[in-house]
Amino acid sequence: NTFVVNTGSTMQAVTYSYGGGTSKTGPIVPAGGFEPYLSLFDASGDFLASTFAGTTCPSGANTVGGNCFDVSLDGGFLVPGTYEIALTAFENMSLAENIGPPLLLADGFSGLGNLRAGENLSYGFDVILGDGSGPSVPEPATWWLLATALGLLYFAQFRTKPRKGRSR
């Protein structure tokens, strides 16, 4: 999801997936989605921040059995420009984050995260600029996430399954 910062501002992103919840833009997201992971990049694809260190349960997110696996990303202060947030399943880190420079967003992801039993692709997330009083960036369309997630899962199969007739 790409968003533009017109005036220098603090930035936060909040997910509603695992426990569901009500997005700040209005949609109600049902519980049962995947455990999300967010990574923030600048317009050049350079890694800026992620939810790797863990976060507290975001405001508006629900818990399931006392657990909240939705996340809140503190993007810090962003200067005017274009930014991109990658939403993946937990542990599917960007190679730019995992291995480090000179890798970029375009270099891909680790492929470690997958949907767990019972999880689905229900999700929503808000990008909140400034103090949160202004409009937030709406979450991308569900069909786009579904296509992306299925593509990532398809390619992840090749990384985890040995091919017939070949040994490792």
Please check the confidence at residue 10 and state whether its pLDDT lies above 90: yes
Burial class (CB in 10 A: 0-12, 13-18, 19+), 140: middle
What pLDDT is stored for residue 42 in this prediction? 95
Question: Does residue 102 have a cis peptide bond before it, meaning omega lies within 30 degrees of 0?
Answer: yes
Residue whose token pair is 């220098």: 8
Question: Binning pLDDT at 50, 70 and 90, where does residue 55 land?
Answer: low
pLDDT score of 71: 85
Q: What is the pTM of this model?
A: 0.70
Residue 166 has pLDDT above 60, yes or no: no
Nearest residue to 128 (alpha-carbon basis) of 65, 50, 74: 74
